[in-house]
Amino acid sequence: MTRLKKDLKLILAAAILLPAAVAAADEAQLIAVLKSEASLKEKADACRELAHVATKNAVPALAAMLGDEKLSHMARYALEPIPDPSVDEALRDALGKVKGRPLVGVIGSLGVRRDAKAVPALAKLLADADADVAQAAARALGSIGTSDAAKALEGALPNAPDAHRVAFCEGLFRCAEALAAGGNAAKAQAVYDGLRALPQAPQQVRVGALRGAVLLRGKQGIPLLVEALRSADYVLFAAAARVSMEMPGAEVTAALAGELPKLPPDRQILVIKTLGHRGDASAGPALAPLAAQGPDAVRLAAIRNLTHLGYAPALPMLAELSLSGEGELASVARECLGGFPGQDADATIAAMLSHKDAKVRSLAVEMIGQRKAGKAAAHLLKAAADEEESVRLAALRALRDQAGQADLPALLAILVKARSAAEMQAAENALGALVARQSGPAQGQVVILKALYGDLPAGTSADVTAKVAAMVKDGSMAIEASNGNFGDPVPNIVKKLRVDYSVNGVVVSKTVAENESLALTAISTPPAIVEAICASMAGAPSEAKCALLRTLRSAGGPKALETVQAAMSESDARVKDAAMRALCDWPTPDALPAVGRLLGSPPNRTIKVLALRGFVRLVPQESAPDAKKLKSLQEAMSLADRDEEKRLVLSALGNIPTAEALALVVAQLDSATLREEACSAAVAIAEKIGAGHAPEVVAAMTRVAKTTADKKLAARAEAIARNAKK
């Protein structure tokens, strides 16, 4: 490599790496690269840098490269940003010197710089034999956008070859936009009108010229818009519809609406959609007749867009169509009626509740349920007293999603006075949904019963009840199980925090590991709701009492449990049975004593089975020592007659981490029908007590590994046995 080339590389590398402010001072060095024997890449890189820092000093060197097939584009890249007239002079001078692709590029650069002095030379090139040159000249003239540029294009367009017409039209479009932006609206209009009048113009030219001519004229363009709407050319018709969406004003809406009756169905649909898109409700009177009669496709479009516009006078017609129409027409009318915006629609639909036809009233109920308006529940409760059962049932179905606590008395009255089994069931469903909707995490009424922190469940622990109660009193509803809160009762052991508490009388027990947080919440039904349901029991018919008892089971809480237990003494066998079933299915352990008593003296086998299932389910939830839980489950096992209930007991025993529970479970390993459930429960217990009861665990797990058919369970048992031996 020669010394000169080495120097050139150093110069170029330095210029490229310097920040723009420093590179500007080295413009001369970059120009030197262009004049040297540097490589193509080095010169291209120099041009790239000059695009940011060049002044008129660089113009001669860059202009000298305009005829170079390989570097012309980079030279123009550097020239175009230079704010000096010498660039325009150099580009114009090159028009008569360069050929082929470099010439096309130079023409484009003149357009980019919008050099008005280049118009005469570019106008001559419109007739060039090279198609690329002629079309580039047309686009450049369009970018320059002066009246003279437009005049040159207009003069050349009639004789332009077909291959050039689109490019020439594009140039004229650019001229029109530039002229309009520069305040010469009259000339711009003339350009658009000339393009509109062009014989056999391509589709995009016709559409673009119409759009420009109409929008540029504003309101005075409406006659052109109407003319296009009436055109036999569907392309122009569709273009007019699109252009109208860019034009504000009631006059445009009126023009579109006025043409609607004169159009064939396919065009009516497009204009209907256009009016809907415009959002001007003044189009409603024109759409309403089309929704009332005519081809289904037109009616459907009119119905949907009347709804979109919120044209309230159409509501009665929609209601009528919802009932008397057929197929999709009725379905869409019903859908639109339900989603119709505004209070007028609410009032219209509510008024339908007084219609003499039960079908109309049922439809009104359905619509009210869909709309979920402010007074929906009140209207639905009124309909729930309708003389026609179908209307009452529809209202109760809708009330499942609508009724709130304020509607509870009315809903209870409906249930108590239900006229049929179907109505009773519908009212019960609505009441149950209300209870579920109003119930939620209860906070602020937490009572701490017992709190332990340490090596739970069987190891050393500290009673931290007072500490947790004080934290709750200070407003904490999430208690962190940490030594920072409770000290360290068992060093070097991962501890647990267990808290037994009640919320609105509902007893809850939760345990979390050290450094975790225990959230003091429970699902609770507002006491006022429970009180109202309990009060309705007095004087209610038997079937209503049964429904109320089932609802109380879902609500839960001390008052509900008290009412259910009292109903077990009713003389009516149906009520008594419903109360016992509700008790057996009670969700919280506060019912455990009563369930235990019922299990000890069941009136029949069915209740015995239900009580046993409830008892076994609630024992693990009870806030009691493990020994007491174990004793309860032993009693349950002795009372279980069927393998199905015994399996439930075994599953519950798996939650009792004591050696005695393990022994009780292992005793069932010889039962062919209970073997697998016993194996699972034994493994669950052994995993909790392995460290403190190694002999019992090893013996039990050895038997489980040999007994179970579950290979994964056997592997767990073997692993527990190995760890216990260590």
List of long-range contacts for 675-680, beta carbons under 8 Å, 24+ apart: 675/707, 675/708, 676/708, 676/709, 676/710, 677/646, 677/647, 677/650, 677/651, 678/650, 679/704, 679/707, 679/708, 679/710, 679/713, 679/717, 680/650, 680/651, 680/654, 680/713
Mean pLDDT, all residues of the chain: 90
Distance of CA 47 to the CA centre of its chain: 51
The whole-number pLDDT of residue 8 equals: 58
The whole-number pLDDT of residue 518 equals: 86
The whole-number pLDDT of residue 248 equals: 92
Q: Is the pLDDT of residue 21 over 80?
A: no
Indicate the Cα dihedral angle 135, 140, 141, 146, nearest 10°.
Answer: 160
Closest CA to 594 of 574, 572, 569: 569
Residue 295 DSSP class:
-
Q: Mutual orientation of helices 284-292 and 265-278 as an angle, nearest 10°? A: 140
Distance, in Å, from the CA atom of 683 to the CA atom of 677, rounded to the nearest integer, reads 10
Average the pLDDT over 48-61 and give the result. 94
Sign of CA pseudo-dihedral 125, 127, 129, 135: positive
The whole-number pLDDT of residue 10 equals: 58
Average the pLDDT over 408-423 and give the result. 95
> Which amino acid, residue 541?
P
Q: Strand, coil or helix: what is 690? A: coil
Q: Strand, coil or helix: what is 227? A: helix
Indicate the Cα dihedral angle 182, 188, 191, 193, nearest 10°.
Answer: 170
pLDDT level of residue 18 (50, 70, 90 thresholds):
very low
Residue 202 token pair: 């391509």
CB distance 167 to 139 below 8 Å: yes
Consecutive H or E run containing 454: strand 446-454
pLDDT level of residue 41 (50, 70, 90 thresholds):
very high
Q: Which residues neighbour 562 within 8 Å (Cβ) at sequence distance 6 or greater?
A: none
Q: Is the pLDDT of residue 123 over 60?
A: yes
Distance of CA 188 to the CA centre of its chain: 47
pLDDT level of residue 525 (50, 70, 90 thresholds):
confident
The whole-number pLDDT of residue 324 equals: 76
Give the percent of the chain with pLDDT over 70.
Answer: 94
Q: What pLDDT, in 10s, does the model give residues 273-331?
A: 999 999 999 999 999 999 999 999 999 999 999 999 999 899 888 888 887 767 899 88
Q: What pLDDT, in 10s, does the model give residues 498-509?
A: 888 877 666 777
Q: Which residues neighbour 162 within 8 Å (Cβ) at sequence distance 6 or greater?
A: none
